[in-house]
């Protein structure tokens, strides 16, 4: 039987934090075993926010190195850069012609990004979700693992697939989300009401994948907690629940098991142990990450191979799309 296909991507916009990792790459590692997987560095999305070319160039290789160091296996998965496969932008244009401006105006990310980048509310920022739909639909994707913040974009991709199929005949697979039980929304360490975010005003908000053990320990020590002393998971304990989620995902122990261990113990001990868990995860990751970054040629080789595989698949889909739309004179 034909394997089902997974597609996901991360923008090369700088150092990732454990929220990004747990909401995305962490899930890819399980999926790549059973799905035909495509993991993309979405550089064309990243340029909707102004950045220096030299920074972008560096960030692209860094994200690819994160994929590899995390365990995305180039033998099993296709790793590539979005701009290397021009069919993404070609399909995005066609999809833009069936997207309503009113739909794009509803997108939370556009509203947030235009509020935080008032000086650069460009058309790319507005049509960003159309390009994301193209990324997904181009490969007949069945499943898209993304964090909660991307659900609205995925819903638009589903709607555009249905609309195109309705107007021009069955062409696109309707992609499904991948239900991440925990980790879809890791919250800020300094404010459990908001998601952990790279663009947070304080570095105490997040643990970066490149933070040293000392920095990790310090950030966790200073992470906010809730009222009451118990280390339990629940709505009334948003800060501790967030820490428990990180503990659970990185140690692979159940939340119930962790709760049990800390009955009668204090936050101090819990946070110190959590720091050990995080450091135990980060140390081998960082070793591999540094090793890959030293071998840029190897990364480029993987990306070139990935682009070759992706292009082949993309061309097949574009031929059908163009024929259906009457662009095949």
Catalytic residue ranges: 113, 195, 198
Give yes or no for residue 306 binding ligand ATP (CB under 6 A). Answer: no
CB atoms within 10 A of CB 207: 25
**Selected range binding ligand ATP among 12-20, 26-34, 134-142, 319-327, rule: CB under 6 A:** 12-20
Phi, psi of 78 (to 5 degrees): -95, 120
Positive or negative torsion for Cα 39, 43, 48, 54: positive
Degrees to nearest 5, angle at CA 12 with 9 and 14: 130
Residue numbers at the binding site for ligand LTN (CB under 6 A):
7-9, 11, 42, 45, 132, 135-136, 144, 146, 150, 153
Task: Check binding of 290 to ligand ATP (CB under 6 A).
Answer: no
Give the shortest CB-187-to-ligand ATP separation in angstroms: 7
Binding segment for ligand ATP (CB under 6 A), chosen from 18-26, 47-55, 215-223, 319-327, is 18-26
Picked from ligand LTN, ligand ATP, none, the partner binding residue 7 (CB below 5 to 8 A depending on kind) is ligand LTN
Angle, alpha carbons 45-48-49 (nearest 5°): 120
Instruction: For the CB of residue 20, give the shortest distance to ligand LTN in the complex, in Å.
Output: 8
Out of 74, 129, 140, 147, the only residue in the binding site for ligand ATP (CB under 6 A) is 147
- Maximum Cα–Cα distance for the chain, whole Å? 75
Q: Yes or no: say if 37 and 28 are a contact pair by the CB < 8 Å rule.
A: yes
Residue 6 near which of ligand LTN, ligand ATP, none (CB within 5-8 Å, type-dependent): none
Q: Least distance from C-beta 10 to ligand ATP, angstroms?
A: 4
When binding is defined by CB under 6 A, the residue of 5, 6, 7, 23 that contacts ligand ATP is 23
Which residues are registered as beta bridge partners of 176? 143
Among 47, 133, 146, 209, binds ligand ATP (CB under 6 A): 146
Query: Are 6 and 36 spatial neighbours (Cβ–Cβ below 8 Å)?
Result: yes
Establish if 20 lies at the interface with ligand ATP (CB under 6 A). Answer: yes
Residue 97 Cβ vs ligand ATP, minimum distance, rounded to whole Å: 26
Partner that binds at residue 78, options ligand LTN, ligand ATP, none, CB closer than 5 to 8 Å by kind: none
Site string for ligand ATP, 190-229 (x = CB under 6 A): -----xxxxx------------------------------
Residue 132 lies near ligand ATP (rule: CB under 6 A): no
Q: Taking the complex as a whole, how short is the minimal distance between the CB of residue 105 and ligand LTN, in angstroms?
A: 17
| Nearest distance from C-beta of residue 166 to ligand ATP, angstroms | 28
Considering the complex, state which of residue 20 and residue 241 has its C-beta at the smaller distance from ligand LTN: 20
C-beta closer to ligand ATP: residue 150 or 173: 150
Half-sphere exposure of 106 (CA within 13 A, CB side): 9
Please state the φ and ψ torsions of residue 49, each to the nearest 5 degrees: -115, 130
The CB-of-141 to ligand LTN minimum distance in angstroms stands at 8
Under the rule (CB under 6 A), what is the footprint of ligand ATP?
10-11, 13, 19-20, 22-24, 146-147, 149-150, 184-186, 195-199
């Amino acid at each position: 039987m034909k394997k089902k296909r997974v597609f996901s991507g991360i923008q090369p916009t700088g150092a990732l934090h454990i929220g990004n990792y747990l909401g995305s790459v962490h899930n890819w590692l399980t999926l790549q075993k059973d799905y035909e997987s495509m993991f993309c560095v979405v550089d064309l999305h990243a340029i909707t926010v102004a950045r220096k070319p030299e920074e972008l160039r560096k960030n692209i290789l860094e994200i690819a190195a994160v994929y590899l160091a995390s365990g995305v296996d180039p033998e099993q998965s296709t790793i590539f850069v979005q701009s290397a496969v021009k069919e993404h932008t070609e399909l995005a244009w066609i999809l833009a012609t069936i997207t309503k401006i009113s739909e794009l105006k509803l997108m939370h990310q556009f509203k947030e990004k235009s509020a935080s980048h008032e000086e650069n509310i460009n058309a790319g920022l507005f049509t960003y979700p159309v390009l994301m739909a193209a990324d997904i639909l181009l490969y007949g994707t069945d499943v898209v693992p993304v964090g909660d913040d991307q659900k609205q974009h995925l819903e638009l991709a589903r709607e555009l697939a249905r609309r195109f199929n309705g107007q021009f005949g069955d062409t696109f697979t309707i992609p499904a989300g991948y239900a991440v039980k925990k980790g879809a929304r890791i919250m800020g360490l300094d404010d459990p009401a908001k998601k952990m975010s790279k663009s947070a005003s304080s570095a105490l908000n997040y643990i970066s994948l490149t933070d040293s053990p000392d920095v990790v320990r310090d950030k966790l020590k200073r992470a906010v907690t809730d009222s009451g002393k118990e280390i339990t998971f629940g709505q009334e304990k948003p800060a501790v629940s967030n820490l428990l989620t990180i503990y659970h995902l990185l140690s692979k122990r159940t939340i119930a098991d962790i709760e049990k261990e800390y009955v009668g113990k204090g936050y101090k001990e819990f946070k110190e142990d959590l720091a050990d868990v995080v450091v135990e995860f980060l140390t081998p990751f960082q070793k591999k990450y540094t090793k890959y970054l030293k071998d840029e040629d190897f990364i480029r080789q993987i990306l070139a191979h990935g682009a070759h595989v992706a292009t082949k698949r993309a061309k097949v889909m574009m031929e059908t799309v163009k024929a259906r739309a009457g662009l095949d004179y």
